[in-house]
Amino acid sequence: MIMEKEALFGKTLEELKTVVKEHGFPAFTAKQIADWLYKKKVSTIDDMLNLSKKNREILNEKYQIGLSPFDNVQESVDGTKKYLFQTSTRQFIEAAYIPSENRKTLCVSSQVGCKMGCLFCMTGKQGFQKNLSAGEILNQMVSISECDELTNLVYMGMGEPMDNIIEVLKSLEIITSEWGFAWSPRRINVSTIGVVPAMRRFIEESECHLAISMHSPFNDQRKELMPIENVYPIEAVIETLKEYDFGRQRRISFEYIMFEGVNDTKEHANELVRLVDGLKSRVNLIKFHPIPDTPLTGSQHNTMEAFKNILEKKGVITTIRKSRGEDIYAACGLLSTKKLLKEDL
Ligand code: SF4
């Protein structure tokens, strides 16, 4: 959907205060608009009933709510759903809804495509198209039918959240503020491959959990898998994390996708233990889902178990993550809208 008018949805309370000031509305109107947007989730400005008719008309001239429904949904045999959204610029993004026994998690995208070029990632192969606005990030959350049931939100879909830090922080502010969705930041986990300056900002300006994509503890190999290692080596990322006190509630985790015969050896496990020593964190081992044009394959389950045992024996809390939504390409590293971009635009 082409959006001609500016969207109100996705504006912080401060930004709404600027809007009402510009139009000469009473200052308290900003909080009223935030209520309509984020608590009552109205779909038109005319639904904002405690604003005067005249003020609603003024808003309608320049603004719209800015929500857009999903274009398509695919459901996996395991209950995972992949939602396809179209942005205001007619590009596509995906969000994955992952229900389990005690959690209902939504994995959202923060960019259309990604410029980080990780070898094992479909989004990386798509290249970078654009940063999503805070409103476009949050639209994925409120426009799915399961919105009210969600228990957790993870920024692990398309894109590198730290490469779009301003809009990501804005979206987190809206979700966690009392005037917004009023979620606890402990229900939100944001991932990064380790873009250090933006990661610092994230640590200092939010209280959400942080997940670092490690995938290899060895510099040369990590450079091959993840070009970011040339700029911010994994040691620098970990040293930065050690500067902060994350308290008892805030969680740091390392994501480790396992590639058969590549990063799943005893040497890798021992080096990983050495790297995270002294940092209160946990490690999530993830089986790799093969993608086209890469020789990489996923490690066998017994190899993953053996790797986990080495980590656990040395005191590192380790989990093997269950794979979800593989059949609909909703699993980790599989989100891509390249095909759609080519065919539909
Ligand atoms: Fe980008 Fe993340 Fe894919 Fe790397 S793994 S290319 S940072 S989306």
In this predicted model, what pLDDT tens digit does every residue of 50-59 receive, in sequence order?
999 999 999 9
Report the CATH number that the domain containing residue 10 is assigned in CATH. 1.10.150.530
Q: Which residues contact 128 (CB under 8 A, 6 or more apart)?
A: 111, 112, 113, 114, 115
Write down which residue in 25, 43, 64 finishes a domain: 64
Q: What angle do CA 238, 215, 328 make, to 5 degrees?
A: 130
Do 19 and 142 fall within a single domain?
A: no
- Going from the Cα of 80 to the center of ligand 1, the distance in angstroms, rounded, reads 21
Mean pLDDT calculated for residue range 143-160: 95
pLDDT at 343: 40
d(CA 144, CA 147): 5
Do 33 and 137 fall within a single domain?
A: no
- Going from the Cα of 116 to the center of ligand 1, the distance in angstroms, rounded, reads 6
Q: Is the pLDDT of residue 282 over 50?
A: yes
Do 30 and 176 fall within a single domain?
A: no
Protein residue whose Cα sits closest to atom 8 of ligand 1: 159
Catalytic residues: 94, 332
Q: Is the pLDDT of residue 330 over 80?
A: no
Range of the domain at 245: 72-342
Task: Provide the mean pLDDT of the chain.
Answer: 93
Q: What is the pLDDT of residues 94-125, one digit of tens each?
A: 999 999 999 999 999 999 999 999 999 989 88
Write down which residue in 64, 89, 105 finishes a domain: 64
Q: Which two tokens stand for residue 151?
A: 């228990």
**Residue 117, marked binder:** no
Do 48 and 194 fall within a single domain?
A: no
Write the CA distances from 224 to 219, 229, 299, 321, 342, integer angstroms. 9, 9, 18, 24, 28
Residue 293 lies in a domain: yes
Confidence of residue 327 (pLDDT cuts 50, 70, 90): confident
pLDDT at 333: 64
Question: Ligand 1 in contact with 118 (CB < 6 A)?
Answer: yes
- Going from the Cα of 159 to the center of ligand 1, the distance in angstroms, rounded, reads 6
pLDDT at 202: 98
Q: Is the pLDDT of residue 340 over 90?
A: no
Share of the chain above pLDDT 70, in %: 94
Mean pLDDT calculated for residue range 252-270: 97
Residue 1 lies in a domain: no
Confidence of residue 88 (pLDDT cuts 50, 70, 90): confident
- The ipTM of this complex is 0.99
Question: Ligand 1 in contact with 159 (CB < 6 A)?
Answer: yes
Question: Ligand 1 in contact with 121 (CB < 6 A)?
Answer: yes
**Residue 159, marked binder:** yes
The closest-lying atom of ligand 1 relative to the alpha carbon of residue 192 is 7
Write the CA distances from 294 to 45, 75, 120, integer angstroms. 49, 26, 7
* 123, 215, 228, best to mutate for ligand 1 pocket (most atoms within 8 Å of CB): 123
Torsion angle, alpha carbons of 115, 81, 133, 110, to 10: -30
Q: Which two tokens stand for residue 94?
A: 């995906």
- Going from the Cα of 308 to the center of ligand 1, the distance in angstroms, rounded, reads 24
Q: Which two tokens stand for residue 213?
A: 């994509």
Number of domains in the chain: 2
| pTM attached to this predicted model | 0.94
Contact by Cβ (8 Å): 162, 110: no
